[in-house]
Amino acid sequence: MAASTSIGLFLFVGFLVARTKAGPIDVKTKGAKGDGVANDAEAIMTAWKEACDSPNPCQVVIPPGTYMVSSPLTLSGPCKNPIEINANGATLKAPSDPTGIKGPGWIMFKNVDKMTLSGGIFDGQGQEAWKTNNAAKTGKCDLPYNFRFDMVKASFIRGITSMNSKHFHMNFLGCDGTTVEKVTIEAPAESLNTDGMHIGRTNGLNITDCTIKTGDDCVSIGDGSSNIHIEKIKCGPGHGISIGSLGKYPDEAPIDGIFIKGCTMTGTDNGLRIKTWPGSPPGKAVNMHFDDVQMENVGNPILIDQEYCPYVGCKPETNSSKVKIADVSFKGIRGTSSTKAAIRLLCSKDIPCEKVELADIDLKYEGKEGAGAISECKNVKPMTTGKIIPEACAAPVEPFKEKGGEADSSS
Ligand SMILES: *[C@@H]1O[C@H](CO)[C@@H](O)[C@H](O)[C@H]1NC(C)=O
Ligand SMILES: *[C@@H]1O[C@H](CO)[C@@H](O)[C@H](O)[C@H]1NC(C)=O
């Protein structure tokens, strides 16, 4: 009796020790080959499921090597405990065939709390897919995103690289309290609809120390986003950092609380912009602040565009945007503009912008001190502090045509 009790106790203690030491799960022990040929998706998902069900915090390791991931990875929670995926030194590759990945995403995280994703290169191999993209004509693009983070909360995404995504690189939907840091995004300037990071209906997302070189917006922020802090981003090539477009659909949720700070933009088509569609249903975008941004040869460095219409058929003059823009500041925005109009504040005729502040602006055009650049305004009277070069709202408004062909970014 005594012997069996102590054996039982021994086993029980042993079990406890085993539990607290729940070691990392190497995807190779689940059948991943890492030979750059075999599809390792199933093995990675098996490792995730086991880690997610683990009674202790658990790590999935994707060791150095090249992994073909030829079908979508769906990594869902809720997990029993914090979970980590470490792909340091590994490269994951999507099939280059544009139809190789069915569905909206290649690597998809869903409903997970306290997740850490670190290291690794995620290569969407989009070169063939970009040639098939006809969103400029149809306004639609069915290619998969490299990453989807849906309902990812209190999590960290750090030190990863997203390359040559077929469509957007990263989409954040319904995320909360999540931090993205030291992430690198790379695709050629001419790759279509390869937005770096798109954020929608997300409350609480911090993005810092990232480098984004891509063919569309570096960061775009859709409706229903609040408490978004974006700091120390290097953007370019790309289309810049953008809030919107807003007001395309009925019942969009407001934007409230976007803080963009300490960024550098190089050679981007646009700088910092807020865009809303003419003839839109009512909406609201407030409390948006841009601070300390260096511009190098950037088109429209400061732009509020409530006449955003990349397609034909909008009539902003007779049918203006109903999205209310208020409480916006641009402070410490310096450098060079590649367009004569360095500041454009084109607000809605029906609902003029309110509380727009410009402070310490110094933007040159063609290297000319002040005189070269101009500033144009409609339906707004900005408050100014410090030096504003070019002088705020001094020039008449010239007709302005947006480059066409942006795919719907709210999907
Ligand atoms: C995000 O950044 C803001 C401002 O720096 C900070 O107050 C907040 O705590 C940060 N959130 C997270 C989840 O780290
Ligand atoms: C205004 O624009 C909206 C959206 O484009 C459209 O549905 C509506 O018919 C337009 N109204 C007028 C009076 O042109």
Give the pLDDT score at 405. 42
Query: Whose alpha carbon is nearest atom 12 of ligand 2?
Result: 319
Q: Which residues of the chain have pLDDT under 70?
A: 1-22, 312, 367-371, 399-411
The helix or strand, by DSSP H or E, that contains position 16, with its residue range, turns out to be helix 2-20
Let me know whether 333 and 401 are in one domain.
yes
Q: What are the tokens at 221?
A: 């922020």
* DSSP helix/strand/coil, 250: coil
Same domain assignment for residues 266 and 397: yes
Residue nearest to atom 4 of ligand 2 (CA): 279
State phi, psi for 117 to the nearest 5 degrees.
-115, 120
Please tell me the distance from the alpha carbon of residue 367 to that of residue 385, in angstroms, as a whole number: 24
Would residue 229 show up in a list of annotated catalytic residues for this protein?
Answer: no
Ligand of minimum distance to the alpha carbon of 320 = 2
Among residues 384, 329, 391, 327, the alpha carbon closest in space to that of 355 is found at 327
Looking at the structure, tell me whether residues 233 and 156 fall in a common domain. no
Residues 134 and 272 in one domain: no
Ligand 2 binding pocket mutation candidate from 249, 277, 319, 348 (most atoms within 8 A of CB): 319
* CB hemisphere CA count around 257 (13 angstroms): 13
Choose the catalytic residue: 167, 169, 198, 239. 239
Whether residues 36 and 163 fall in one domain: yes
225 and 146 in a common domain: no
Looking at the chain, how many residues does it have? 411
24 and 85 Cβ atoms separated by less than 8 Å = no
Residue 288 tokens, joined? 């948006």
Instruction: Identify the pLDDT of residue 400.
Output: 59
Cα end-to-end span (Å), the chain: 65
Predicted TM-score (pTM) of the model is 0.91
Q: Is residue 297 part of a domain?
A: yes
Amino acid identity of 237? P
Whole-number pLDDT of residue 366: 79
Are 282 and 389 in the same domain? yes
Decide: 39 in ligand 2 pocket, CB within 6 A: no
**Do 233 and 105 belong together in one domain?**
no
Tell me the pLDDT tens digit for each residue of 237-268: 999 999 999 998 989 999 999 999 999 999 99
10 Å CB burial of residue 2 (0-12, 13-18, 19+) is: exposed
Q: Which two tokens stand for residue 112?
A: 């997970």
| Cβ atoms 302, 261 nearer than 8 A | no
Task: Show the domain range for 30.
Answer: 23-173
For residue 122, count other CB atoms closer than 10 A to its CB: 26
CATH number at residue 48: 2.160.20.10
Same domain, residue pair 155 and 273 = no
